[in-house]
Amino acid sequence: MNNAAHTRHLALSLATLLIFALALYALSHLLREIHPADVISGLANVPLHRVLAALGCVAGSYTMLTLYDWLALRAIGWHLPYPHVAFTSFTAFGISHTAGLSSISGGSVRYRSYAAEGLTAFEIAGIMTLVAINFFLGVGTLLGSSLVIGAHGLSQALPLGVAGTRALGVALLAVVFAYLMLTRFKRTPIHLGSKTIVLPSMSLSLRQLVVSSADLSFAAGSLYVLLPTGTGIHYLSFLGIYVIAMQAGVLSNVPGGLGVFESILLLMLHGAPSDAVLGAVLLYRIVYYVMPFSLALILLTGRETLHKQGQLRQLGGWIKRQLAGKSKPR
């Protein structure tokens, strides 16, 4: 690693630690009137059918996430088998969602898998860029729609007023529309030095938008069904709050958005009982982060074990052939 790269990595690490510390500080102030016993009690009172519904939403979200890579690969002209892509995508997202720094944690998983299939580092970087675009298409669409349709409800949590909230939603939708128009009419390659970049087609971009919107809707649903009854917030309004809190956590680079996500959620759900909300968030983190993270680790460990066993068998076969050749009479 050269000096410039080392400096950038150090600066990013320090910024992440600072954001994490500030988030915990803000969260500590929000939690002053909350008792751990009340959180645990609220957690224990979540009905089983809600937990099962949350698990179903988690399964739906991670299924959609596997399509991020699948669409990105097609955009750059690669058609790998879906099971292989799904394995790579799930493990990459399962690790990066919890570990943070997705370009490093999820990127290393993708590089390890796709490089073995013959993709270049530039192509893998292109996949990661398209995955990020895919995600922000969903964020812009859902948040923009939520701000426009649910402006009256969300304006109580945002310091913009009803008109300002709706204007922000329109602006986000306009950015998404502008990108789609760019993919429709900009069909000539973009040259970056010796590299050539071709934007995905509009039809593929629309599929990216649908996939990411479905992913975020499922993810928000996995928390929404765990919230206490009587919260008094419509799902569409909650979807906007969830996307804002989740996006803040992503931008912070803090693992899992820990502290950042909770702080924003508690501030924007000011009418809901904080202890019950925290109990729901804790259970949400278990089903949406801890369980997929654990499964991703198991799958990666199993794959690497099988890979090493194959290498050892090849090495053993080579040694046997060498010994057999030396033992032959001359």
What is d(CA 95, CA 47) in angstroms, rounded to the nearest whole number? 29
Statement: residue 3 has pLDDT above 70:
no
The reported pLDDT for the residue numbered 10 is 59
Read off the pLDDT of each residue in 83-100 and give the average, rounded to a whole number: 86
- Amino acid sitting at position 326: K
Phi, psi of 195 (to 5 degrees): -95, 150
Most confident of 59-73, 165-179, 250-264: 59-73
Domain assignment of residue 154, yes or no:
yes
Does residue 287 or residue 101 have the better pLDDT? 287
Q: Which residues pair with 28 in a beta bridge?
A: none
Domain assignment of residue 14, yes or no:
no
> For the ranges 66-75, 146-155, 169-178, 190-199, which has the lowest average pLDDT?
190-199
- Residues in CB range of 242: below 8 A, 6 or more apart: 216, 219, 220, 223, 224, 265
Q: Is residue 89 within 8 Å of 100, Cβ to Cβ?
A: no
Rounded to the nearest integer, the mean pLDDT of the chain is: 77
Tell me the CB-side half-sphere exposure of residue 50, using CA atoms within 13 A: 15
Read off the pLDDT of each residue in 20-25 and give the average, rounded to a whole number: 49
Range of the domain at 212: 36-251+258-300
> For the ranges 91-95, 119-123, 158-162, which has the lowest average pLDDT?
158-162
The reported pLDDT for the residue numbered 33 is 45
Domain assignment of residue 281, yes or no:
yes
Statement: residue 34 has pLDDT above 70:
no
Statement: residue 58 has pLDDT above 90:
yes
Domain assignment of residue 104, yes or no:
yes
Q: Which residues pair with 197 in a beta bridge?
A: 190
Domain assignment of residue 330, yes or no:
no
Residue ranges of alpha helices (H) inside 228-290 are 235-252, 260-268, 274-285
Domain assignment of residue 100, yes or no:
yes
User: Total structural domains in the chain?
Assistant: 1
Domain assignment of residue 285, yes or no:
yes
Read off the pLDDT of each residue in 117-144 and give the average, rounded to a whole number: 88
Statement: residue 18 has pLDDT above 60:
no
What is d(CA 145, CA 236) in angstroms, rounded to the nearest whole number? 9
Domain assignment of residue 148, yes or no:
yes
Among candidates 247, 245, 289, which has minimal Cα distance to 266? Answer: 245
DSSP string of 163-223, one letter each residue: HHHHHHHHHHHHHHHHHHHHHHH--SPEEETTEEE-PPPHHHHHHHHHHHHHHHHHHHHHH
The reported pLDDT for the residue numbered 19 is 43
Read off the pLDDT of each residue in 194-204 and give the average, rounded to a whole number: 77
Residue 314, SS3 per DSSP: helix
Statement: residue 54 has pLDDT above 90:
yes
Q: If pLDDT is split at 50, 70 and 90, which confidence band does 116 have?
A: confident
Among candidates 15, 19, 95, which has minimal Cα distance to 259? Answer: 19
